Amino acid sequence: MPVHRQPGTILTDHRIQVPLDHAEPGGEHIEVFVREVVAAKKGADRLPWLLFLQGGPGNRSPRPLGSDGWLARALEDYRVLLLDQRGTGLSTPANRQTLPARGGAAAQADYLAHFRADSIVRDCEAVRRRLLGEDATWSVLGQSFGGFCAVHYLSSAPEALDEVLVTGGLPGLRTPAEEVYRAAYPRIQRKNAAHYARYPDDVETVRTIARHLRDNPAELPGGGVLTLRAFQALGLMLGSGTGSHTLHYLVEDAFVGGSAGPVLSDSFLSQVQGFLSFAGAPLYALLHEAIYAQQSASGLGTRWAAETVRAEFPAFDADAALEGDGPVLFTGETIHPWMFETDPALAPLRETAELLAQREQWPDLYDPDRLAGNKVPVAAAVYHDDMYVDTAHSLETAKAIGGLRTWVTDEYEHDGLRVSGGRVLDRLLRLVRGEL
């Protein structure tokens, strides 16, 4: 086990073999990676364990640079485990380079069907038994999609849990994907309105960029294509605390003077490439709608729900906006079929993505009866008008989980855990311990 030291912390790496399909423990195995972090001054102490479940899906766990932010607060009380969820980071990877080894698109889709919250939680249980012991218990902190996983954990193995903390991640228990996006687009529209109210000059700036891209799609440095629809997808950043400012600074100097007139600058295109590419997290695109798929909610699969529902909100039609004088609206946390045409990291997986979108047999992820009788202490931060996770759906779920305590706040956006310097985590800990 490699051990490393950073300022104030000791990091120990663990690699654990788990079944690809936990229903077939004797079948194929894959590897999951977890990084144990403990405060240097407490390295020899017997401490309770806190498992962190990252948002996503498809994002690797945080890479700590010493003790700061929420991790510093956690290390006051816990030995922390950072899990690279299956398919991400240093766990057995799943991407355009590795998936072809599984076979054709159908085999790849069948493989990826084992990469949702239910399998991730079973992986967590294998890690717990391996590192802590069969009868040991631990606490779980779930951010965003990590909260979805935590709620599944409460449904499937609450006996393993001391307490559960959720930030911006209470899912609708029986909400089909189309309803998720039907609730999302109005929130995204409100974030657009707030952005343009903050930076009114951006209305014309964005219209100018959009008009240029409508007529002249641009090649990105990584080989992708920046179309008008892809440009609108930059709105994903509007759900974070500083996203509106970042977007403003991105578009304010998009053009430089070329020999034949204004052209999009290399600097602009390079930054856009970083924001739009799924090279670092292809599972985010492949499985994003599948995290909402449940047989009891909809037996028809997800079928590109975000794309389907978008037609119900004509305000997001950029071509129509350019014909008038209104703002071009950005989209948010939505995945669309065209992304598998414009992004080189996704293009080889287009057929696989289609099969996942059409897949109908998705097991349920949550047990409402078991959650209603929950005895595990649970506290959840619900961010007011969260662009990524619907507040109304979250509060409905909060009422459905026995003993859950909520903190509804507009002090932070969806990234409150990361940017609050430990204050969000501290508040949840005090809630779950009955100190508030």
Res. 436 pLDDT band, cuts 50 70 90: confident
pLDDT at 212: 97
Mean pLDDT along residues 164-174: 97
Q: What percent of the chain has pLDDT over 70?
A: 100
Q: Which CATH number fits domain 3-173+366-432: 3.30.420.40, 3.40.50.1820, 3.20.20.70, 3.40.30.10?
A: 3.40.50.1820
pLDDT reported for residue 66? 82
Catalytic residue among 61, 67, 139, 144: 144
Query: Can you tell me whether residue 207 is helix, strand or coil?
Result: helix
Residue-level pLDDT at 431 = 97
For residues 101 and 87, give the distance between their C-alpha atoms in angstroms, rounded to a whole number: 14
- pLDDT value, residue 71: 97
C-beta separation of 290 from 116 below 8 A = yes
pLDDT of residue 259 exceeding 90, the answer is no
Output the pLDDT for position 347: 98
The confidence score (pLDDT) of residue 370 equals: 97
What are the tens digits of pLDDT across the range 293-308? 999 988 889 999 999 9
Q: What pLDDT score does 8 carry? A: 94
Is 414 tagged catalytic?
Answer: yes
The secondary structure of residue 414, as a DSSP letter, is T
Query: Exactly one of 91, 336, 414, 420 is catalytic; which is it?
Result: 414
The distance from CA 169 to its chain's CA centroid, rounded to whole angstroms, is 9
Q: Determine the Cα–Cα distance for residues 25 and 119; give it in Å rounded to an integer.
A: 12
Q: What is the pLDDT of residues 9-32, one digit of tens each?
A: 999 999 999 999 999 999 999 999
Res. 67: pLDDT tops 90: no
Element (H, E) at 51: strand 49-53
If you average pLDDT over every residue of the chain, what do you get? Answer: 96
Active site residue 67: no
Which pLDDT value is given to residue 300?
87
For residues 260-275, average pLDDT = 94
Interior CA angle at 248 toward 245 and 250, to 5°? Answer: 110
Task: Tell me what pLDDT residue 68 has.
Answer: 83
Q: Which of 84, 343, 386, 415 is catalytic?
A: 386
Give the pair of three-digit tokens for residue 136. 């040991």
317 a catalytic residue: no
| Structure-token pair, residue 284 | 């985010």
Residue 145 and residue 333 in contact, taking contact as beta carbons nearer than 8 Å: no
Domain ranges of the chain: 3-173+366-432, 177-358
**pLDDT value of position 1:** 78
